Amino acid sequence: MSETNVNTLEPVKRDTYVDLFNGMMKMAREAGALTEFDKISDYAMCDYYEDAAKKPISSYEFSTRFMVDYGGSEGIYIDGYLVGVLDEIGKFQKQHFCTLKTLERNFEAMKLMGSVCGILQYYATEYINQNLARYEPDRAKISAFHQEHVPYFCIHCGNGGQVEVITRSCKQGNLQKEHYAFRCGICGAETEYCNNTLDLREKHWNCGEYKIKNSEAILIRKTDLQKICARKNDPECNANCANCPLKMVRELRRTM
């Protein structure tokens, strides 16, 4: 897979999980490092069927990890993972990308498969280092703000689709930079400001670090609301005030 380099207008080849797997296996086999494994191999394959395997890797801030163990069925398995940052969004990931298997289960086979883990680690690293330009991030896509980090549900009141991003400009040296915060338009739950939405989501919002700022919401217990509701005896009332079929109540917030 390739994309255009805006500086040189030359196509930039990107590796997918499949390319990385095929590249490291080719190097290892050409070096004769997998000869013994091939004698007892049942199969060695990348996760071709996974959508993630078709996605280009656009970061080199990750490592490969290989683990050996007995599987749920007969034989011994090696599972390969990509661990770290795999694209410009900057999110830490752990993605399974390949499996190698032998049908044997004896000590010698386990010892060999453990050795194969080291072989794969070496050649995966060699392959990436020799093709590092393919993993160079696209600087134009690196951004402090990513829409996918914006939560759908409010961590405080549980309402969906009401969390918005608010910004303020901060001066850092001679530069003006945007800082971001999440705010629920219903209950007023608001985080502190952060210089990127990834840290904002994972280090603040997901950890429940917020304050209730100015809000137009009026909190009332459901039982008290039903006592004063003029439509409580209507046949269409389902007593579910948060989703009032009569549109008498827009939202019912959770009280603390």
Give the pLDDT confidence of 35-71 residue by residue, as tens digits: 999 999 999 999 988 888 888 999 999 999 999 999 8
Residues 194 and 226 reside in one and the same domain: no
Residues 210 and 222 reside in one and the same domain: no
Q: Is residue 141 domain-resident?
A: no
Q: What is the pTM of this model?
A: 0.62
What pLDDT is attached to residue 88? 83
Q: Is residue 72 domain-resident?
A: yes
Residue span of the structural domain in which 227 resides: 218-256
What pLDDT is attached to residue 98? 96
Q: How many domains does the chain have?
A: 3
Residues 213 and 237 reside in one and the same domain: no
Residues 53 and 130 reside in one and the same domain: yes
Residues 168 and 63 reside in one and the same domain: no
Residues 188 and 113 reside in one and the same domain: no
Residues 28 and 129 reside in one and the same domain: yes
Residues 76 and 100 reside in one and the same domain: yes
Q: Is residue 142 domain-resident?
A: no
Q: Is residue 140 domain-resident?
A: no
What pLDDT is attached to residue 9? 46
Residues 106 and 161 reside in one and the same domain: no
What pLDDT is attached to residue 10? 55
What is d(CA 248, CA 242) in angstroms, rounded to the nearest whole number? Answer: 10
Low-confidence spans in the chain with pLDDT less than 50: 6-9, 250-256
Residues 72 and 129 reside in one and the same domain: yes
